[in-house]
Amino acid sequence: MKLLEYEAKEILKDAGVPVPKGILIRAGDDAGAGAAQIGELVVVKAQIDVGGRGKAGGILMADSATVQEVADRLLGSRIKDVPVHAVLVEERISIEHEYYLSISIDRSSGSPLILFTSSGGVEIEEVARTNPDAIRRAVIHPLLTDVPGYTIRYLLDGAPRELGPVINKLYHVFRSRDALLAEINPLVTTPSGVYAADGKIIIDDNALARQGISENRDLTDRERKAEEFGFSFVELDGSIGVIGNGAGLTMATVDLITVLGGKPANFLDVGGGADRVRVAHAVQLLGSMPGVSVIIVNLLGGITRCDEVAAGIIDAGVSQQVIVRLAGTNEEQGREMLNKHGYRMLDTMEEAVSAAVEVA
């Protein structure tokens, strides 16, 4: 789950990384007095999970006299169609130089990866494309609790030494917060010291509970409902509803629809051992999606029993046509039940997907 800027900055501050003085203002707050305390010159930043919010008008300059009015204006607006519920009012700092620092997971080595560059303030992908040699990379052994001094010296490569402690503090944040990404961009030097001018932290969804986070905000309402049932669900924008078991097979089903010229409406993995009730929920969830004209169920039973799946499909009783491909445990019973109720059964995944594409 992605944290918002102010949440990331609170974590950085707790870890000892200096952040600009700031105050969070929510819609309806009487902001003026508090915000004016921050400083004569301030920045007002929309707290939304949207890339490029600055260019889209989500970051505005203000002073102590105008801060209330500017904050109110942002709070009533939508940036890239996302409503702004809170803004961060921060002191304006005088930046001397901008750096980029991030820690993520290097899949090849299965280890934390630190990236640092003196060309900060822009997208790291941009630097990687135009000036890859400017990025210093260091893989840290996962059992190390601190970044070694020689690694920090290597990463800094002549950048001010006062940035060194920030690298280690961010590494502690990365580890202790179960982060997939901990990023400071830009990390800035100013006449009064080093600051994290912006911060981004993504928490591992598998560790939300032990991080004390009860709800994953990144999900849409329908995705959240699907999660309650234990499904993996992603909304796409086509007309063919897809239910599969196992992430890979479900993805391959979605892909095959596209290869054969159709448009998938979603990705829904019911998970292993799905029973009658879960299957019924899944079919009904897709049946309730506007724009879904046909549903394909592609299940390969191992632990999953085909007769349970068939019962679930029949229970769901949705108005759209449901095309089914079932293979595995108790396949015959499942087929018999569906045949009796007039459902269309096909033998292979490819036949089932072709049929769904034709109907849609």
Partner 1 sequence: MIYADKNTRVIVQGATGNQGSFHIGRMNQYAQSVGGCGVVAGVTPGKGGQESAGVPVYNSVQEAVDAHDVSASVMFVPGVAAGDSIMEAADAGLELVVAITEHIPVHDVMKACSYAAMRDCTVIGPNCPGLLCPGEISMGIMPSHLYTRGPVGVISRSGTLTYEVVHELTRAGIGQSSVVGIGGDPVIGQTFADVLEQFSEDSQTKAVVLLGELGGNLEEEGARMADLPVVVFIAGTTAPPEKRMGHAGAIVSGGEGDANSKIKRLKSLGIPVASRLSEIPGLIKEMV
| Positions in the binding site for partner 1 (CB under 8 A) | 104-105, 107-108, 110-112, 124-125, 141-143, 175, 178, 180-181, 204-207, 209-210, 232, 234, 236, 244-252, 254-259, 264, 267, 269, 272, 300-303, 327-329, 348-350
d(CA 147, CA 167): 8
β-strand 294-301 against 240-244: which pairing, if any?
parallel
Rounded least distance, CB 218 to partner 1, Å: 9
Contact assessment for residue 113 and residue 155, using Cβ atoms and an 8 Å cutoff: no
Contact assessment for residue 35 and residue 92, using Cβ atoms and an 8 Å cutoff: no
Nearer to partner 1, 193 or 302 (CB): 302
Rounded least distance, CB 118 to partner 1, Å: 20
Nearer to partner 1, 96 or 215 (CB): 215
Nearer to partner 1, 35 or 115 (CB): 115
Nearer to partner 1, 164 or 328 (CB): 328
Query: Which among 116, 138, 128 has a CA at the least distance from the CA of 185?
Result: 116
Rounded least distance, CB 215 to partner 1, Å: 16
Nearer to partner 1, 105 or 318 (CB): 105
How many CB atoms are located within 10 Å of the residue 263 CB? 14
d(CA 325, CA 360): 17
Exactly one of 5, 6, 90, 183 is catalytic; name it: 183
106 phi/psi in degrees, rounded to 5: -85, 115
Rounded least distance, CB 66 to partner 1, Å: 35
Query: Which among 124, 123, 117, 126 has a CA at the least distance from the CA of 98?
Result: 117
Rounded least distance, CB 255 to partner 1, Å: 5
Nearer to partner 1, 27 or 139 (CB): 139
Exactly one of 5, 6, 90, 100 is catalytic; name it: 100
Catalytic, 183? Answer yes
DSSP 3: P
Q: Which string of DSSP letters, residue by residue, matches 289-301?
A: STT--EEEEEEEE
Catalytic, 100? Answer yes
Cα–Cα distances in Å, from 74 out to 25, 26, 147, 159? 11, 11, 40, 36
d(CA 241, CA 282): 10
Rounded least distance, CB 139 to partner 1, Å: 11
**Residues taking part in catalysis:** 100, 183
